[in-house]
Amino acid sequence: MEVIDKWVAEFIIRRQQNPRVSPSNLLSALRFGDSPDCLKLKISSVLRDISNSLIRGTIDEGTLDLLEMLEKLHLQEHSVLMESHKSAYCWTAVECTVRFMWPLSSSDGFFTDALERIWTKRIEVLKESGSGLVSNELLKWEADLKIALEDSEMYQRIRESNIRYTAISLLNQLLKEQWEILGSSALELVSQRTFLKRKAQNVDNRGDPNHVDESMRRGTSEEEDGNENNRENANDVEGVRCLEGDGIDKVNAADEEETMSAQEEEPEPSLDKGDKTVARELKEFLLEIQGHIDSSTRKEEQEPNNGIDYSVDVTPQPARGNRTGTSRQVRNETPDSANEKGSGSQGTWSGRVGPRLPTPVPLNVSPLKKENSNARRPKKFWTPEEVEGLREGVKEYGRSWKDIKNANPTVFAERTEVDLKDKWRNLVR
């Protein structure tokens, strides 16, 4: 039973967007031990927690806790601390501090408290324990932030910089690399082995290996890179394909050698067919169950404020035609997402026909861009709330209209970045 628990826990943890399952709670409920398998599960859980907090748009001291926890787990695994981990920790710590820099002066508000709590206490503990997270970059920021306490020019400079964006990018990069290192889930490895075994039997029975190979290859023509097939993981099922290998520290992959060796003996372009089938079936069941449990979930996920991954996905979106995007009305019904292409419609989501997991809705910075360049949007006066939001936004992000809009998608749902720019121009005139 425990093995099944582990597999299911792993599958659930690796799923993206499952707000009803907290990985930490799941693990503590199942009381796993300290075996290498469980260590991987714990790492997955921490990664999922970080990912969930990014999805919620939250970067706080809880994120720092998670990053510290991740380091400890890697220490237990005797693996090397990655640069992306150090950078993500550094910039998250800075973001946690800078968020308290909203007053104009360092003596107002809670900046001093944050500096004390994060840099004097928390990071001091890390230094004493010899943590690898204490990088040169971190020490430099520590010095700068302490200078900012006295030097108002430095304070303003840091206050006006966009730390949050960098922190999100680095956390995203960390997640990408860490999921990559974790590799295939246990279920997928088992399915690969089973598939290999079955294939071997088929070959024996038929005495015609070419026959099997050809039939298997047909379904996986999109996978050109046969040697990397074992790196498919459950995340890929959900369209969150990890980048393939380049420059990734693979020290942690050592514990996979045992299972990988089976494949190395017989590298086949079609090896991933088995795990894809298992993953697909599991996905279908989960979708069906989830559809029954909570049919309202999808609706909520369509709300702009709950747009799932836009705060996480910092990769550039495909360029949209200038002023030729879909109109506001059309967008609300059919989000203009590349991920949607070729997928089932919303109506089929809870069914078994063409099921798919919720697709992250990419942030469209300017949903108000017009389809018909002749039509003019109706004039809408700025509300005091919008003006206030704009003032706050400029304080926090400077004249980065896109960031201001992204930070407050609800308030600025009806405004483009250009609107923000124009309004600000009017305000300062």
Partner DNA sequence: GTAGGGGTAGGT
Partner DNA sequence: ACCTACCCCTAC
Nearest approach in angstroms of CB 380 to DNA is 4
358 versus 362: smaller Cβ distance to DNA: 362
80 versus 427: smaller Cβ distance to DNA: 427
Q: Is position 411 an interface residue for DNA (rule: CB under 7 A)?
A: no
* Distance separating alpha carbons of residues 215 and 212, to the nearest angstrom: 5
Q: Is position 401 an interface residue for DNA (rule: CB under 7 A)?
A: yes
256 versus 386: smaller Cβ distance to DNA: 386
83 versus 414: smaller Cβ distance to DNA: 414
Contact 310, 54 (CB under 8 A): no
For 79-162, where are the alpha helices, taking DSSP H only? 83-98, 111-114, 123-128, 136-150, 152-160
Q: Is position 31 an interface residue for DNA (rule: CB under 7 A)?
A: no
Q: Which stretch binds DNA (CB under 7 A): 111-119, 168-176, 190-198, 370-378?
A: 370-378
Q: Is position 230 an interface residue for DNA (rule: CB under 7 A)?
A: no
The DSSP result for 267-325, as a single string, is --TTTTHHHHHHHHHHHHHHHHHHHHH-TTHHHHHHSGGG-SSTTT--SPPPP--TT-S
217 versus 328: smaller Cβ distance to DNA: 328
List all residues 6 or more positions away from 353 whose beta carbon is below 8 Å from its beta carbon.
344
Nearest approach in angstroms of CB 160 to DNA is 12
301 versus 414: smaller Cβ distance to DNA: 414
* Distance separating alpha carbons of residues 264 and 426, to the nearest angstrom: 66
Count interface residues toward DNA (CB under 7 A). 31
Residue owning tokens 């290192």: 181
Which of 403, 407, 408, 411 binds DNA (CB under 7 A)? It is 403
225 versus 422: smaller Cβ distance to DNA: 422
Nearest approach in angstroms of CB 83 to DNA is 27
Which of 191, 233, 252, 416 binds DNA (CB under 7 A)? It is 416
89 versus 424: smaller Cβ distance to DNA: 424
Nearest approach in angstroms of CB 57 to DNA is 18
Reported as half-sphere exposure (CB side, CA atoms, 13 A), residue 133 has a value of 28
Nearest approach in angstroms of CB 393 to DNA is 10
**What SS3 class is residue 54?**
helix
List the interface residues with DNA, window 312-341 (CB under 7 A). 323
Nearest approach in angstroms of CB 28 to DNA is 42
1 versus 375: smaller Cβ distance to DNA: 375
Distances 383 to 12, 411, 412 between C-alpha atoms, Å: 43, 10, 10
Q: Which stretch binds DNA (CB under 7 A): 26-34, 153-161, 228-236, 367-375?
A: 367-375
Nearest approach in angstroms of CB 53 to DNA is 25
192-227 as b/e, with b when 16 or more CB fall inside 10 Å? beebbeebeebeeeeeeeeebeeebeeebeebeebe
Nearest by Cα to 366 from 311, 330, 320: 320
Nearest approach in angstroms of CB 389 to DNA is 13
* Distance separating alpha carbons of residues 98 and 100, to the nearest angstrom: 5
Q: Is position 20 an interface residue for DNA (rule: CB under 7 A)?
A: no
274 versus 389: smaller Cβ distance to DNA: 389
CB atoms within 10 A of CB 36: 10
Q: Is position 311 an interface residue for DNA (rule: CB under 7 A)?
A: no
Nearest approach in angstroms of CB 366 to DNA is 7
Contact 179, 235 (CB under 8 A): yes
Nearest approach in angstroms of CB 322 to DNA is 8
The one-letter amino acid code at 20 reads R
Q: Is position 415 an interface residue for DNA (rule: CB under 7 A)?
A: yes
Contact 249, 82 (CB under 8 A): yes
For 31-135, where are the alpha helices, taking DSSP H only? 36-55, 61-76, 83-98, 111-114, 123-128
Q: Is position 422 an interface residue for DNA (rule: CB under 7 A)?
A: yes
Nearest approach in angstroms of CB 166 to DNA is 15
* Distance separating alpha carbons of residues 361 and 84, to the nearest angstrom: 26
List the interface residues with DNA, window 184-213 (CB under 7 A). none
Contact 232, 272 (CB under 8 A): yes
Q: How many helices (H) and strands (E) does the chain have?
A: 20, 0
Binding mask 371-400 for DNA (x = CB under 7 A): --xxxxxxxxxx----------------xx
Interacting residues toward DNA by CB under 7 A: 323, 365, 368, 370, 373-382, 399-403, 414-419, 421-426
